[in-house]
Amino acid sequence: MDYILKKAEDRYATGRWTAVTVLQDMRDIFFPMLEFLIDLGELQYPSNSTQRNRDDFERTFRANYRLGPHGLQPVIDIFRRLFELVVAQRHRVSPGEFSLQIEMINTYANPLHALLLHFRTTVDRVEYDPFPFAELR
């Protein structure tokens, strides 16, 4: 995905490397690997909340949610770059298509954001921030 985004971000990008084609490639290749984010997000806010659902979410969250260079940090960076590309090329598509592109990104970005907020509220900063920042409250 990094290669595809670099090609599209290049100011000399050809018609093959547009936000539309990048999103199509992401939808076919990258997004299916991120279905666990949607599943985990749905488990976080189930329609019929019970203690068992909450325990299932916490267990699954602790087992699968990782940040950093070998966790979700590269995914977060790809979403940021993809969003910037879509916004930069919004003049190439209709307003309706632009809204659909943003909605496609948000399908995965919203649960990712909710899970990040859950992480920040349930894990003590001392466990993930370097010393001077870990002391901030």
Q: Give the pLDDT confidence score for residue 86 in this predicted structure.
A: 94
Give how far Cα 125 sits from Cα of 14, 43, 62, 86, 137, Å.
45, 24, 16, 33, 9
DSSP secondary structure letter of residue 46: -
Indicate the pTM of the whole model.
0.78
Q: How many CB atoms lie under 10 A from the CB of residue 85?
A: 20
Instruction: Write the pLDDT tens digit of every residue in 80-99.
Output: 999 999 999 999 899 999 99
Instruction: Write the pLDDT tens digit of every residue in 10-39.
Output: 777 667 788 888 999 999 999 999 998 888
Query: What is the Cα–Cα distance from 111 to 63, expressed in whole angstroms?
Result: 17
Delimit the domains of the chain by residue range: 2-134
**Any residues with CB less than 8 A from the CB of 36 and at least 6 apart, and which?**
64
Query: What is the Cα–Cα distance from 26 to 36, expressed in whole angstroms?
Result: 16
Instruction: Write the pLDDT tens digit of every residue in 35-67.
Output: 988 888 888 887 776 666 778 888 888 887 877
